Structure 1
């Protein structure tokens, strides 16, 4: 690839990224694309400028290896310096970086100067615990200021961090400890969940106890934050001879450390973090993200999608991404992107309906949130909690922008978010006009790939439910099995043909899996340059905009008709009795597959059918008929099963394959990566009681 001379660094506070000249996806001009990413990278502060913008070695089917992807070679930088130190040095140390809201009601406002001191203390503490460049650190904490502090401290010293959702089981944590060969585990005594203090230190103990070196057992210390005051066990064994014992308190080694710390600078391709994907089959994959490329994608896309287009107004921005910090969305749009931009943001520890369903709206009102980025599943929950709309007592007038992520938002949820959360934003005709960025991207891409632009809000141009087109510097296609473009409104596979710099570099410890999972199917494409198979079905409409139709393996083939699960789910949630739905392809002896709908009902509907079999059957038939009228008779679910919850990943994606396994009585795959794992046995019990799965023919 060509060698370039980087542009002079630009300030993220004043950069007018909304007006940049951007490469046309259709032009295929690679020089133009690389010039664009040079400009985006110049938003960062580099200790040493890069020389080669991009290097690409195609995937190799013979060696079964994915492509070699490198960006900004020979450049050196530090992610924590870009997120904290540079803002203090620019005289912005008094600006609030984090508005923290704890579930019990505790709050804290942390300035950039305070954050710099906290990160420096944590970096000194990590080094005292023997952590250095390249060591892996597992962070098993909820959404706290300390979670961001220890994450940035890892980046500051070049350690590779892996955040684990605080609600995951000991088994899920143990796998990640083993797979990464982590040297340090950071956890808390307990966590607040739904109004209760829940001990979690015992999960950390179970994850590391008895793990041999051959099994990846290399943890030397467990760093424990006191959050709830829960009683915990304590291990004083000295595992590395430093005299500290295995378990150490945060307040003993972090809070007492010096606030002076000299940062190191690392190659742009230095690994920054590992992000595990979820799945119901096979082990989770640990995706490796680099420093320079990832940070470039995170900062540019944050500015383009969420920052005020007028730099003079940007200091009034208050961003809130509602994701748990362990999810990639939070890495990019709750940590690295906003902090690299020097923005103010909200972080919230709890769930949205504790102590009441309006908790999010209280927080928006208190902190004057301007951009609200959340999951479609939460929007649908809010719709169920507030069937008559959000009460007028909440002042939501600060909201300038809405966003969704996790899976495609159904048009009803998109319209509700614009109408209710954005109720103060109307066009000249009085119609909802809140800009809504319905973003499509993945753990693998690291930052947003497809999204409507925030300025696109006019009726007729904005299409609720469509992820529109690629952001600058990315190129995608919707293709058939052979790599040929799918026709208008015909479902195909979405592939990334030109990834941006935030793309994952591989799977931790398993380069072959990187190839087989993402590159093998289209390794031959474009004269063997290779395309990335995202795993989602999609279609382009007549205007060229893209609609995501759910995971490829979630499509349902009923008597030769290929149906999208997300389209059936979208039809179901337009019924007033349905809050949320998960549709799964289940076995059918006649049609091959049939759609089975698992529905979360409104409170009124649950009360109506409680103990009344006739009323329940009437509702089920009503829902089946409703789908038939919205989509067509072929899309009617074979049956509808009311459930308390549908299983979801931390990103809010419904685990439809798991629903298939539960319904058909098949062996379950990995469930440890779910955000609501306790719902699995409940659904299993409901399926067994109803016994709606036909017996499979046994071939002798």
Structure 2
């Protein structure tokens, strides 16, 4: 079998930077020049420019024991101080930090001074409960201000937070509590989702039930009153947030901790077996978060209103809702609910209301809006937007162009960002104002980041070829390990190219003729069809480029003749559902893929569905579709936003 991944889809549209945007852009060509001249010196400069150090560092990188990196390790800082106090001390206390919008349209605005005061009170509350440096605190909350306050309060006192998405099962919570050895859980009586209050505390109660799971390490559960849900109460363990914080003063001096002090553990989802706790530390992570947020999003903190739609339960919420924006003194929007509650235009209403300028969302959401039709955003005033971002998985070219034209008014640059929980911050992206944009391409490594595409032996592929995406040099925001399991850390991320010292991301990619990078999806999703290694992402892009299609997911299924056969699951655009029969639609789509890519990529089976299995962060769970396509029992669906989707698909097939 050939080492390289075939790439057959051609995208030729280009969008040069707007001169007016370039004239005021934060990132300039000098950024890349500085990084190329002295990579470690460049990162030292970023750390000094963007972070306030209680004790300045003198060592930039200690890579004496790979793959265990230490960045800025003889320096010390307090992450929460960097996100809060220093802005107040600089005279920015009246600047809005957070415009919060609840799903039922209740709102709350917090300035930097107000947010600092709330975090100090929450820090004192935790200290009063016996939480100390190094203790672990699990946070299981909806996207409400207390979620951000909790994270920063834990960081402020040197404890370690582990956020669990407010929707995961009791089993998921318990696995994370046990693995981290958590002392405290912060939860809520409920959170608003799709027009109703979704209960949260019952899942925590079940997770901590000694009759079901034995004794746990948790001695306190703090409960935020959000949904007015009745809750069972465990005297001696449970406390209302509002009662506990009322007893706490707002005087707290942030203590400095070493740069390599653990900041958080974030568990990856969607796999079976023991959860994988990704560990991030303080100084390097904050440097990467602030640097990438400022330059990729072209942040002008005194005028921009930024909105990332991610939940804090995912790494995007950690880096680009909490730590990056607040470290940079940004004003941002946070929204509790779903994009279609109470109607499909809710996100656009929020952009119009708060005059959002920088907007960051997932391709799956964008394709969902395409399905609903452009008339919905067209009825709102989105003229405040000046930059759009994409995160989560590769965005297909047609969705990219729709996003720019319909949401961005045909003028906004789009930053299509590639990164992972493990990388901590964005690694590949266009730089707005500098990069000529290519729809569907991740494009270029950020200055200071070393990326390559290699074959199975670790040798770089040529331009125009596909292979495996690797990071060839350590970077400040990199994960420091898997919590409690250094051997698994080595095996998972470093073993494949141990002789080269490369981090293997698990993604396929290709270099185009300019050397720009296009993501081809997870290597697990690459199919071998008649000896050709085909990317699911390219076939999905071809399908979505047809006017019938709103969204598509492609998997490979075992086939006696070709080794694997292409199986496509397709959602039609609402406006196109009645335009032709299902059989005619299937025939048209098969022919279209053959025309766009080639006969080798033509799906053997096309199944028209109403919805695709997605996690609550918007990622399509292709492994479940492979189960269906190959006639197996469908695997674990607990992380899906709607677990009934797979039942409907299985029954229809």
Class of the TM-score when normalised by the shorter of the 2 chains: over 0.9
Runs of 5+ unmatched residues, structure 2: 1-23
* From 358, 375, 383, the counterpart of 1:371: 358
Aligned: 1:512 with 2:487: yes
Aligned: 1:655 with 2:621: yes
The SS at the match of 1:381 is: helix
Aligned: 1:412 with 2:398: yes
Are residues 26 and 365 of structure 1, via their aligned partners in 2, closer, same or farther at CA, if it must alter by over 3 Å?
Answer: closer
Are residues 192 and 568 of structure 1, via their aligned partners in 2, closer, same or farther at CA, if it must alter by over 3 Å?
Answer: same
Partner of 1:402: 388
Q: How many residues align?
A: 629
> 2: distance between equivalents of 1:628 and 1:536?
25
Q: Aligned runs of 1:328-347 on 2, under 5 Å?
A: 328-347=315-334
Aligned: 1:446 with 2:424: yes
> 2: distance between equivalents of 1:565 and 1:320?
30
Give, in angstroms, the shift of residue 164 of structure 1: 1.0
Aligned: 1:468 with 2:443: yes
Partner of 1:51: 58
Give, in angstroms, the shift of residue 662 of structure 1: 2.8
> 1: distance between equivalents of 2:30 and 2:588?
52
Partner of 2:250: 259
The SS at the match of 1:342 is: coil
Runs of 5+ unmatched residues, structure 1: 1-14, 60-66, 237-244, 424-431, 610-614, 691-700
The SS at the match of 2:585 is: helix
Are residues 523 and 156 of structure 1, via their aligned partners in 2, closer, same or farther at CA, if it must alter by over 3 Å?
Answer: same
Partner of 2:18: none
Aligned: 1:35 with 2:41: yes
Are residues 264 and 477 of structure 1, via their aligned partners in 2, closer, same or farther at CA, if it must alter by over 3 Å?
Answer: same
The SS at the match of 1:126 is: helix
Q: Structure 2 length as normaliser, TM-score?
A: 0.93
> 1: distance between equivalents of 2:150 and 2:77?
19
Q: Aligned runs of 1:493-508 on 2, under 5 Å?
A: 493-508=468-483
Query: What does the per-residue CA deviation read over 1:352-399, in whole Å, with 9 as the maximum and x for residues that have no partner?
Result: 1111111111111111111001111111111111245732x3111111
Whether the 8 Å CA contact 1:25–1:474 is kept in 2: the answer is no
Give, in angstroms, the shift of residue 228 of structure 1: 0.8
Aligned: 1:601 with 2:572: yes
Partner of 1:481: 456
> 2: distance between equivalents of 1:522 and 1:259?
50
Whether the 8 Å CA contact 2:509–2:518 is kept in 1: the answer is yes
Aligned: 1:246 with 2:237: yes
> 2: distance between equivalents of 1:568 and 1:494?
19
* From 530, 535, 545, the counterpart of 1:564: 535
Partner of 1:429: none
Q: Name segments (4+ residues, structure 1) moved above 6 Å.
A: none
Whether the 8 Å CA contact 1:307–1:317 is kept in 2: the answer is no
The SS at the match of 2:538 is: helix
Q: Structure 1 length as normaliser, TM-score?
A: 0.87
> 2: distance between equivalents of 1:57 and 1:630?
49
Partner of 2:415: 437
Query: What does the per-residue CA deviation read over 1:453-511, in whole Å, with 9 as the maximum and x for residues that have no partner?
Result: 11146xxx321111111111110110000011112222100000013200000011111
Are residues 197 and 618 of structure 1, via their aligned partners in 2, closer, same or farther at CA, if it must alter by over 3 Å?
Answer: same
* From 360, 373, 395, the counterpart of 1:386: 373
Give, in angstroms, the shift of residue 212 of structure 1: 9.0
Query: What does the per-residue CA deviation read over 1:139-183, in whole Å, with 9 as the maximum and x for residues that have no partner?
Result: 111111110000100000011111111111112112111111111
Whether the 8 Å CA contact 1:280–1:671 is kept in 2: the answer is no
> 1: distance between equivalents of 2:122 and 2:362?
31
Partner of 1:235: 234
* From 588, 594, 600, the counterpart of 1:622: 588
RMSD (Å), alpha carbons: 2.0
Whether the 8 Å CA contact 2:507–2:522 is kept in 1: the answer is yes
> 1: distance between equivalents of 2:634 and 2:129?
39
Partner of 1:12: none
> 1: distance between equivalents of 2:133 and 2:546?
54
Whether the 8 Å CA contact 2:29–2:434 is kept in 1: the answer is no
Q: Which has the higher contact order (CA 8 A, sep 6+)?
A: 2
